[in-house]
């Protein structure tokens, strides 16, 4: 009888522990882009404030363009164009190592375009990007156009 009681108690404890928290893989699979970005530490301005050469920038670098926003891969100097409304998804896919300064991105806007329509699209994309980053609590380090 004591063996049966002890066995039942042990099985109950194991089942309770096993059911108390979902596995890590399930948690990360259901995590929103916003939640993933919030896991990145807040921006540390001491790590980048005195930076003079933006070629040394190691956090995400965005370029606002007429057709959306480009995410610059500094490792190979390639740009990945992302629709403005998908920016949070693209940033959330970056590894934690891509954020050594914390939640801050550098943003540059492409030079002035020829048409008024393009200028309007640039302003719209700039506003969308700024609004998205503000809602994610990501600081912006504006870089002058060259």
The distance from CA 108 to its chain's CA centroid, rounded to whole angstroms, is 17
pLDDT of residue 80: 93
pLDDT of residue 74: 74
pLDDT of residue 112: 64
**pTM for this one?**
0.76
Mean pLDDT of 19-30: 46
Q: State the pLDDT confidence band at 32, using cuts at 50, 70 and 90.
A: very high
Percentage above 70 pLDDT, the chain: 77
pLDDT averaged over every residue in the chain: 82
Mean pLDDT of 87-99: 94
pLDDT of residue 46: 93
Going from N- to C-terminal start, the domains of the chain cover 33-143
Does the pLDDT of residue 118 top 70, yes or no?
yes
pLDDT of residue 49: 87
Does the pLDDT of residue 15 top 70, yes or no?
no
Does the pLDDT of residue 91 top 50, yes or no?
yes
């Amino acid at each position: 009888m004591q063996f049966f009681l002890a066995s039942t108690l042990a099985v109950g404890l194991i089942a309770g522990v096993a059911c108390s928290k979902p596995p890590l893989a399930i948690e990360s699979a259901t995590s929103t882009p916003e939640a993933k970005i919030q896991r990145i530490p807040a921006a540390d301005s001491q790590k980048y404030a005195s930076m003079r050469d933006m070629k040394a920038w190691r956090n995400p670098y965005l370029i606002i363009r007429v057709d959306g926003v480009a995410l610059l891969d500094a490792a190979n100097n390639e740009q990945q164009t992302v629709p403005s409304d998908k920016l949070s998804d693209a940033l959330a896919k970056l590894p934690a190592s891509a954020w050594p300064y914390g939640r801050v991105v550098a943003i540059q806007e492409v030079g002035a375009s020829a048409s008024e329509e393009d200028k309007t699209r640039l302003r719209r994309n700039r506003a969308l990007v700024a609004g998205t980053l503000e809602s994610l609590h990501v600081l912006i380090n504006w870089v002058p156009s060259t």
